[in-house]
Amino acid sequence: MEKTAEAVWNNTLEFIRDNINDQSFKTWFLPIKPIKLKGKVLTIQVPSKFFYEFLEENFIKLLKSAITKELGKDAKLVYSIVMENTYGNTNPYTVKIPSSNRAPIKNPQVPMPVEIGGQEGIRNPFIIPGLKKVHVESQLNPNYTFENFIEGDCNRLARSAGYAVSNKPGGTSFNPLLIYGGVGLGKTHLAHAIGIEIKDRYPEKTVLYVSAEKFTQQFIDSIRNNTKNDFIHFYEMIDTLIIDDVQSLSGKEKTQDAFFEIFNHLHQHGKQVVLTSDRAPVDMQGMEQRLLSRFKWGLSADLQKPDLETRIAILGKKLYNDGIEMPEDVVEYLAYSINSNVRELEGALISLLAQSSLNKKKITIDLARQMIDKFVKNTTRELSIDYIQKVVCDYFDMPIELIKSKTRKREIVQARQLTMYFSKQLTKNSLATIGAQCGNKDHATVLHACRTVNNLAETDKRFKTYVDDLRKKLTLA
């Protein structure tokens, strides 16, 4: 029976899934569509040029192995890049590229020539005398760089897209780039990092960072002073415009109208727009539909809560930059204890350093525990599954990897069940979430673990001691 493109690609996906983490698989492989199979040449469709480049740079060996396994040693992969056309043309933009044979890709969105008339007469909202493009201050924070932005599964897509934009502002399919997520997850940091990188690579370009609140106030001032046209023209001069907390424009119709006009001008002239928001476009209330539709032209990338490894790396980077040494177990304790966001994590570290310095005390686990107790009262912390795993594994003197493994050894199974039991009792996580973090188990396995722990605690004195000891450690931590 002759193989089909779908069958070959489905088998390829199974091989790939076994060799990378779930997040990378969902982000980079699920959006791919098999197009056709001709002999030993498989054509796949990807949604953007950046997508193709990222696959080639990061997964080419894996792709080659997977395709060779399916089609033999002479197998070849061809990419078909189908980009959404944002200018109302009916035909999508398509380019076919053989794997690892990068030909130049013509950009379908050719920037129109920029014409800025009467530049000297435009009033600069930032009140910079003698306005010329080169005199516009970018308002960027030099500390918020890509180098200082720790990458993890929680932010990899947003960071990768941000870096692609900073390499080729206005020249990728990520225009606009909308970065969204909760408080303290790094949206503003990443937005500044993009601006700083663009300024370093393209000194001649005008980059401007401004909060949506400040943008709104400037617009109100321009109406009051009868200088609205100057306001619009000033923003139309910018090569890369970064608007922070764009959700603040909700309900402000006139300001949205002005931003809509500016956005259209910048986009049509090949300029880059970067936006941040505390929510996805679909959740923005009070925002005009025509503006929301433009937010969806490019890429919306979310920032999630940092995982344990990323939290440890963030603390390590902060300590390294400040030239401070701290015991590894204390760093791990902080990372396990504070799991809400980066801002609170750094706040806890600063509090610990202050406690140590002011009271002339050595930094130890005990001091960290005392500080966390006080810190938690102010931040209403909830125990995390990560932290419960850490306490259980320390108690039984075993590495965390064993709990997440598939081994069925009795002592490891019991430690896993105790982790599930206390996670259900002491956190607000769903059964599915608890199971996923304890070795990719389903919710039924978590329920079974809870029943088992309750039964053993009633019938096995030694096991009851385990439960009581761990409950004390977790409730007093």
Predicted TM-score (pTM) of the model is 0.49
Residue of 342, 303, 304, 348 lying closest to 330 (CA atoms):
348
- pLDDT given at position 413: 92
**Are β-strands 93-98 and 76-83 bridged in parallel, bridged antiparallel, or unpaired?**
antiparallel
pLDDT tens digit sequence for 93-131: 344 444 543 333 333 332 222 222 333 333 445 443 333
Higher confidence at residue 28 or residue 132? 28
pLDDT of residue 49 exceeding 80, the answer is no
Distance between CA atoms of residues 179 and 190, nearest Å: 8
- Top-confidence range, 297-301, 372-376, 423-427: 423-427
Looking up tokens 């963030």 gives 314
In the prediction, which pLDDT does 105 show?
Answer: 33
pLDDT of residue 270: 87
pLDDT at 158: 85
Amino acid at 319: L
Percent of the chain predicted with pLDDT > 70: 83
Q: Identify the pLDDT of residue 128.
A: 37
- Strand-pairing partners, residue 81, are 46, 95
| pLDDT at 443 > cutoff 60 | yes
Query: What is the pLDDT averaged over residues 266-276?
Result: 90
Higher pLDDT pick, 133 / 284: 284
DSSP 129-160: SS--GGG------TT--STTS---TTTHHHHH
Look-up of token digits 């076994």: 18
Maximum C-alpha span of the chain? 87
pLDDT-derived band at 456 (thresholds 50, 70, 90) equals: very high
pLDDT at 320 over 70: yes
How much is the mean pLDDT over the chain?
78
**Tell me, what's the pLDDT at 442?**
86
Per-residue pLDDT tens over the stretch 214-260: 888 888 888 888 888 888 888 888 889 999 988 888 888 888 989 99
Strand partners, 275: 178, 243
pLDDT of 6:
92
- Across the range 319-324, mean pLDDT stands at 73
- More confident of the two residues 359 and 140: 140
For the segment 74-91, what is each residue's pLDDT rounded down to a tens digit?
888 888 876 443 333 334
**Stated length of the chain:** 477
> Residue 8: which pLDDT band, with cuts at 50, 70 and 90?
very high
Burial class of residue 116 in the structure, from the number of CB atoms within 10 Å of its CB (0-12 exposed, 13-18 middle, 19+ buried): exposed
Model confidence pLDDT, tens digit, residues 324-345: 777 787 888 888 777 767 777 7
Give the model's pLDDT for residue 373: 66
Per-residue pLDDT band for 450 (boundaries 50, 70, 90) equals: very high
Question: pLDDT grade, residue 463 (50/70/90)?
Answer: very high
Q: Name residue 442's amino acid.
A: D
Q: Is the pLDDT of residue 395 over 80?
A: yes
Give dist(CA 228, CA 84) in Å, integer: 33
* Per-position DSSP letters for 308-345, written without gaps between them: HHHHHHHHHHHHHHHT----HHHHHHHHHH--S-HHHH
87, two tokens: 């200018």
DSSP 153-215: TTTHHHHHHHHHHHHSTTSSS-SSEEEEESTTSSHHHHHHHHHHHHHHH-TTS-EEEEEHHHH
Q: Compute the radius of gyration of the chain from its Cα atoms.
A: 27
**Which residues, in sequence order, are bridge partners of residue 33?**
45
Task: Show the domains of the chain with their CATH numbers.
Answer: 5-98 (3.30.300.180), 120-303 (3.40.50.300), 308-379 (1.10.8.60), 385-476 (1.10.1750.10)
Measured distance CA(317)–CA(319) in Å, rounded: 5
Q: Give the pLDDT confidence score for residue 377 in this predicted structure.
A: 45
Question: 24-59: buried (b, 16+ CB within 10 Å) or exposed (e) per residue?
Answer: beebbbeebebbebeebbbbbbbbbbbbbbbbbeeb
Rounded distance, CA 119 to CA 122, Å? 6
Cβ-contact 15, 139 below 8 angstroms: no
- Predicted confidence (pLDDT) at residue 381 exceeds the cutoff of 60: no
Q: Return the exposure string of 373-404: e unless at least 16 CB atoms fall within 10 Å of the residue's CB, then b.
A: eebbeeeebebbbbbbbbbbbeeeeeebebbb
More confident residue, 310 or 450: 450
For the ranges 43-47, 172-176, 277-281, 345-349, which has the lowest average pLDDT?
A: 345-349
